[in-house]
Chains A and B, each alone.
Chain A
Amino acid sequence: MNFSKTSIKTVALALVLSAFAATSAEAGPREDIIAKFQAQAEAPANPANGEQMYNATYGTGKPDTPKCTTCHGATPQQGGETRTAKLIDPMAVSKTPDRFTDAKKVDKWFRRNCTGVIGRECTAQEKVDFLTFLAGQ
């Protein structure tokens, strides 16, 4: 009896462990970053808003950079170019797999580019919308 109890426990533990391992393999740094913004956002991520943001013309930030596509590609699948002629890899995760995997980098560029384009920092909601849109591209 004792023996079978222990074996059930062992099997259960193994199951839990393997399930945990499976989920953590799926949740890479990008998922962590998105989850962090999601936790601060008011509503669930909406990729359609992210797409709208990617294409919108704001003109409320610095005069030379009215929209995200001033520098990023016309579509997420296309590469872009900075105003100083440096090429930027496509923003779509399918094209550039290591996109949004470094939290420090993501924060740095959201800070710079949102103030540059919109004239203010982006909200957590905007960030999570933007990232989920591009993660699905």
Chain B
Amino acid sequence: MSDAPNSDNKPANGTSKRASRMVKVWDIPTRAFHWSLVSMVFIGILTGYIAPEWWMGMHVWAGYITVTLLVFRLVWGVFGSEYARLETFAFGPMHILTHMKEIITLRPVRHYIGHNPSGAAMIFGLLIVLIIITISGLLVLGGEENQGALAGVASYAIGDMAAEVHAFFVFALMAMIVMHVGGVILEGRLTGENLVHSMITGLKKVPQGTPPLAHRRARPLYAALVTGLFFSGAALGLENLAKIPPSGLVQLPANAAYESECGDCHGVFHPSLLPIASWQGMMQSLEDHFGEDASLDDDSVNEITAYLTQFGGENWDTEASNRFAILDPAKPYSIIATPYWVRKHDEIKPEVFKRRGIGVKSNCGACHTDHYSGRFDDQKINIPEEKKK
């Protein structure tokens, strides 16, 4: 981190037509932060929209790394070198508006050594939006998927709400990224400066005659101390949060009758996958069970009905129990007929279900290696490959 003496972030008059010199503006941590954040956001968007669900692990990691980066950047905004410090680009609203007007009307703009007012506004906006996205993401993970630090505290309903916030702000983020990149290009045109290049080399052009001004050095030791303190605090908090068992998951005792009688023809279905009324109706019509006779003696019927009533869908607060509660009215006993199941599996080709080791759509355990827990985590999906008979 060489800190060449140069001017502060006050506007220097004139355009870049005049002779100029290069000064070091962005220190290494700031640049590393910028490009790491770019890659994390890129991975996040890619794994969030395009990649199959079992890449969720990567999406979540991108989120955790983003949080780390954000925390670091805020700390560096206090202890970093001159132009990394938040105070050097905290402009007032009028200042920002004037600058935006200059850009939009394509007038030659004033030159700023650090971030210009519009860029600075964008940075604060991006930081805030990213904080909202990561927090809501953590809530979705805890509420809907029962994973992560908030699994024990976030209910499914909270997770569901957070999912909408998450999606909305990701849209906002993508719009802001477009504006940010557009701004960089426009600003480059107007001032003749290559801002992307600056973010790589750290060097920016300043017009000749800019008076050399005090350039405060970074205080990496303080930064490390505060960052370390923050993360040890966070780790302690997370460890305690992680001790709370995931909310909405019930301790499910084994039931020999259910597992043997209802596991004779197909894998045993987790009791959370259908509402209680469906189980009860099914248990009363076992003579005609999906085109087969699955009848049982009365004792077994009673025992299994009691078990499924005690542990049916309404007793859980998981993604599966909430989603499969909405049935196909024509097939109230079928999981694979529920709108959610159909929607989640409509990209899987019919041949895939016919593979050896899968056979039928209702063979949940063939692809969901955690089906016995009722969790159906994205990361636990593993579609068996075609095997020769």
Contact = CB atoms under 8 A, between A and B. Distances in A.
A111 B295 contact: yes
Contact of B291 (A62, A86, A108): A62
Interface residues of B, number: 18
B285 to A, nearest CB: 14
Contact of B266 (A62, A82, A115): A82
Nearest to B287: A115
Interface string A21-63: 0000000000000000000000000000000000000000011
Interface string B126-152: 000000000000000000000000000
B293 A84 contact: no
B341 to A, nearest CB: 16
Interface stretch (B20-28, B189-197, B201-209, B356-364): B356-364
Contact of B292 (A85, A86, A111, A112): A112
Assign chain A's interface to a size class.
10 to 19
A76 to B, nearest CB: 19
B293 A116 contact: yes
Contacts of B287: 115
A31 to B, nearest CB: 24
B265 interface: yes
B296 interface: yes
User: Which of A65, A85, A108 has the most C-beta atoms of chain B within 10 angstroms of its own C-beta?
Assistant: A85
Nearest to B292: A116
Contacts of A112: 292-295
B220 to A, nearest CB: 61
Contacts of A83: 265, 291-292, 360
Contacts of B363: 84-85
A62 B295 contact: no
B286 to A, nearest CB: 9
A85 B359 contact: yes
Nearest to A114: B293
Contacts of A62: 291-293
Given A62-B292, A64-B291, A116-B292, A85 B297 contact: no
B267 interface: yes
Contacts of B293: 62, 111-113, 115-116
A6 B366 CA distance: 70
A82 B291 contact: no
A65 to B, nearest CB: 7
Contacts of B358: 85
A108 B296 contact: yes
Nearest to B266: A84
Interface of B: 264-267, 287, 291-297, 358-360, 362-363, 366
Given A83-B292, A84-B362, A85-B366, 14 more contacts: A62-B291, A82-B264, A82-B265, A83-B360, A84-B265, A84-B363, A86-B264, A86-B265, A104-B297, A108-B295, A108-B296, A112-B295, A115-B293, A116-B292
Interface of A: 62-65, 81-86, 104, 108, 111-113, 115-116
9 contacts: A62-B291, A62-B293, A64-B292, A84-B266, A84-B360, A108-B296, A112-B292, A116-B292, A116-B293
